[in-house]
Structure 1
Amino acid sequence: MLSRRPSDPRRTSLSRVPRLAAGLAVALAVLPGLAACSAPGGSGPAAGASKTGGSVATNPATAGKVTLTEWDQNTDPATDSATRALNAAFEHKYPNVHIVRVSRSFGDLKTTLKLGLSSANPPDVVQVNQGYPDMGAFVKAGLIQPLDRYADVYGWKTAYPQQLLDLNRFSGNGRTWKTGNLYGISQTGEIVGIYYNKAQLKALGLKPPATLDDLTTGLAKAKAAGKLPLAFGDSDKIGAIHLFGVVQALTAGKSAVRDLVFGAKGASWTDAGTVRAARIISDWRKHGYLSPGWAGQTSDQAATQFGAGKSVFYLEGTWEAERVAKAMGAGNVGFTALSPTAGGAPVTEGGEGLAWAITGKSKHADVAAAYLNFLNGQKGMAQVASAGGLPALPPASYRPAPGTVNADVLNTWHTVSTQDGLLPYLDYTTPTFFDTLTSGLQELLGGRQTPQQFTKALQGDDAAFQKSR
């Protein structure tokens, strides 16, 4: 996800009422090798066909009356709109299927998902965060099931590039990531970058930041001018992950970050680049660059703060593009990713959104698989794009209006992905790393830990996991 959307939770909703997707259509450049791929659906069974691939029934119309329960964290405007519209479209196509949607914030989903999957009546379809903390743990416990038989029937293995498929793979015992069985498919792509208020930047005599030094200069000038430099919130324990991750990518470098997250021998979270990143964001807090009261504010509230014109910058993922575009006007806000040096290639966190997975106890696995294929097919990807989102397999026909934040998202995604600048999210590292990282960042930014103490705790978590494998 890779998806990291800390939006206000919209608890439970029934998707019987259609909600048309709105917003600027976005065309998205893709990861290397993706241009030759197309969304699922085209190579799968014909619409409405009653076919069976092995033991897979591909036509939900023949399943009788089915209630399909799905849990997601698509609470940002673009993916919420797309999910509502697609659920309604699926129900219209298959009137015998009723979808019950439970939509929660990313943090709430992480908190409740394991309990929900372990219950006597779990949902059928869920969004699962990649990496060891969630997907690996659920695979180990048998709470989600392999999708390889469905991938073969619906053509997912040829539709998606290998590098995206691998992020949703695990060995059957949940101990080895990026290999083994396929446990999910992802609907969206994403990168984390810097949103900026064009008018306020111009008033400060600044250009859009291209490097970490540029951003630091911009933060200082904004503070000196009496403006809030960076809208920021971390009460949901999400915002600081991105703040630290974006800076670490620039100070430690892409090779070091990949080695750390993927457990390469000799990699250490106490390296100079990682310690420097911790020191930089700690200094930003000391200098007053972050929102006052940031510890009691969510990232979603920070987005609202930025959208209301109360800050010059906002650091977050592409999933917030539609929210800020609606608040400010798509032409009044920009988006970019930073490079380690002037003229260099940008590097940042990103990849694909949370994986759609089928639970181990689902009584309607074949219907659930058809639903996944519908969400992630050509029409599903087009729906995400038309709602202002970033589909994992973007339709070639969509183009954003020049000069808008959507065009910036397209251009930045293209530049980062085609120049090998996508880095994994840090919380993938170990089964307990999300908790260690988020609690440590709150201590660091609260002035209760030094950068050295913070990074030492990260290293201790990683070392304990590597020893246990």
Structure 2
Amino acid sequence: MMPSAVSDAALNNYINSYKDDVPVTAKWTDVGILKSLKSLEQIAKSGVYQKGYLGMDLDQATAYFTSGKSCLLLGGTWMPGGAFEADTKAGTMKFSPGFAVLPSVVTGAKSTFTPYYGDAFGVPTKSKNREWALELLRYSVSDEGQRIGVLEASGNFPAVTTVPKSAYTKIPKSVLDVLAHVEEYGAKSGWTSEVPGAYGQAFLNPLIQRLQEGKTTPAKIAKDLQAELLKVRKNGL
């Protein structure tokens, strides 16, 4: 919701303003953030989620969906080639899911797909085999490495744009539908996947859970986020 609730310039500032050399031009108490938080609060209060959802992990929630006990799952494009495929083969998933984006909280604004950039590879600075590790990284992002390790192994999109679309033979239709949506409407980064985890997910997720439990308010979360931003800018991570 957040990416379509604020301007592109504001989103870019939210992503980068934790750095003390980037001026703060977008505040967490701004209207787009408050609207997004209020929408999350309203969804939780309306009874959309299944009973006990706050105590479920991802695997439990996925199983609840694939077995037909819930009609929507907040998930990602890794699921069709993973859990969905496995449960379909096991016979516990008997339908072909589509996908939808959450509606924008701003009237007239188009909702965009929000990619998550959380997975990354790195080489320890004290590794005894750095050259071999770097060679593995180079192969991983090569066309062949992406075709074999990403497309064919899991049915996911490659991380590079040089793999021809003719190789996309094992990507599920629902994932191709996501690609078509992105090509038409674009995509905007998710804030928690762009900023350091200690500043993003680790701080925000507990606040969202408290919001869903009715133990805090959108205005309080917005103030907490603004205070955390100023704290990180002053003291670092």
Is TM (by shorter chain) over 0.5?
Answer: yes
Select which of 196, 211, 214 maps to 1:447: 214
**Structure 2 vs 1, CA of residues 342 and 333 (structure 1 numbering), >3 Å: closer, same or farther?**
farther
Secondary structure of 2:72's aligned partner? strand
- Structure 1 residue 303 and structure 2 residue 62: aligned? yes
Structure with more of its chain in helix, by fraction: 2
Partner residue of 2:119? 354
Structure number, greater radius of gyration: 1
1:462 aligns to what SS in structure 2?
A: helix
Match of 1:333 among 97, 103, 108: 97
Partner of 1:423: 189
Q: Tell me if the contact between 1:252 and 1:274 (Cα under 8 Å) persists in the aligned partners.
A: yes
Matching residue of 1:392: 159
CA distance in structure 2 between the aligned counterparts of 1:352 and 1:377, rounded to whole angstroms: 19
Residue 342 to residue 275, structure 1, CA distance change in 2 (3 Å):
closer
Residues in 1 aligned to 2:47 and 2:53: alpha-carbon distance in whole angstroms? 11
Q: CA offsets per residue over residues 137-163 of structure 1, 9 Å max, x none? A: xxxxxxxxxxxxxxxxxxxxxxxxxxx
Match of 1:249 in 2: 3
Q: Could you say what secondary structure the match of 2:160 adopts?
A: coil
Letter in 2 for 1:367: W
User: Which sits farther off after the overlay, 402-411 or 352-361?
Assistant: 402-411
Note closer, same or farther for the CA distance 1:402–1:436 as it changes in structure 2 (3 Å cut): closer
Matched residue, 1:404? 173
Counterpart of 2:146?
381
Distance 2:139 2:52 in 1: 42
Q: Which residue is equivalent to 2:20?
A: none
Between the aligned partners of 1:457 and 1:342, the Cα distance in structure 2 is 27
CA–CA distance in 2 between the matches of 1:443 and 1:351? 23
- Alpha-carbon shift at residue 381 of structure 1 (Å): 0.7
- C-alpha change, 1:392 and 1:252, in structure 2 (3 Å) is same
Q: Deviations over 1:208-238 (max 9, x none)?
A: xxxxxxxxxxxxxxxxxxxxxxxxxxxxxxx
String of CA shifts for 1:5-31, please: whole Å, max 9, x gaps. xxxxxxxxxxxxxxxxxxxxxxxxxxx
Q: What is the CA distance between 1:332 and its match in structure 2?
A: 1.6
Corresponding residue SS for 2:80: helix
Distance 1:450 1:308 in 2: 34
Q: Which amino acid in the other structure matches residue 425 of structure 1?
A: W
1:260-290 deviation line (CA, Å, top 9, x unaligned): 1221522111111111111111111111111
Q: In the aligned structure 2, how far is the partner of 1:380 from the partner of 1:330?
A: 32
C-alpha change, 1:438 and 1:402, in structure 2 (3 Å) is closer
Pair 1:260-2:25 in alignment: no
RMSD (CA atoms):
2.8
Distance 2:39 2:103 in 1: 16
Return the alpha-carbon distance in structure 1 between the equivalents of residues 212 and 102 of structure 2. Answer: 22
Relative to its length, the structure with more strand (as a share) is 1
Task: Give the deviation of 1:415 after TM superposition.
Answer: 3.5
Q: Is the 8 A contact 1:331 1:404 kept in 2?
A: no
Identity of aligned residues (%): 23
Q: Which runs of 5+ in 1 are unaligned?
A: 1-246
List runs of 5+ in structure 2 lacking aligned partners.
18-22
Structure-1 separation of matches of 2:226 and 2:117: 26
Alignment of 1:16-55 (within 5 A): none
Aligned to 1:123: none
Alignment check: 8 A CA contact 1:275 1:455 kept: yes
1:422-451 Cα distance to aligned partner (Å, 9 max, x none): 224326445433322112112111111011
Matched residue type, 2:70:
S
Give the partner amino acid of 1:357: G
Whole-Å separation in 2 of the counterparts to 1:299 and 1:357: 26
Counterpart residue number, 1:314: 73
Retained in 2: the 8 A contact 1:401–1:407? Answer: no
Structure 1 counterpart SS, 2:98? strand
Q: Could you tell me whether the CA contact under 8 Å between 1:307 and 1:327 is conserved in 2? A: yes
How many angstroms does 1:356 deviate by? 0.9
Alignment of 1:60-75 (within 5 A): none
Please name the residue that 1:115 is paired with: none
Over 3 Å counting, the alpha-carbon distance change for 1:248 and 1:453 in structure 2 is same
The letter for the 2-side match of 1:370 is: E
- Residue 297 of structure 1: how far off its partner (Å): 0.5
Aligned length: 220
Distance 1:331 1:441, change over 3 A: same
CA distance in 1 between partners of 2:133 and 2:219 (Å)? 47
Residue identity in the other structure for 2:175: N
> For the residues of structure 2 that align with 1:429 and 1:410, how far apart are their CA atoms?
24
Identify if the C-alpha distance between structure 1 residues 411 and 267 changes in structure 2 by more than 3 Å, giving closer, same or farther: same
CA, structure 1 residues 404+278, in 2 after alignment: closer, same or farther (shift >3 Å)? Answer: same
**Under a length normalisation based on structure 2, what TM-score does the superposition of the two structures give?**
0.80
SS at the partner of 2:40? Answer: helix
CA-CA distance at 1:460 after TM superposition: 0.7
Aligned partners of 2:94, 2:13: CA distance in 1, in Å? Answer: 37
1:367 and 2:126 are equivalent in the alignment = no
Instruction: Give deviations 1:310-356, integer Å, cap 9, x for gaps.
Output: 22211222122222244357972112435647986542432645221
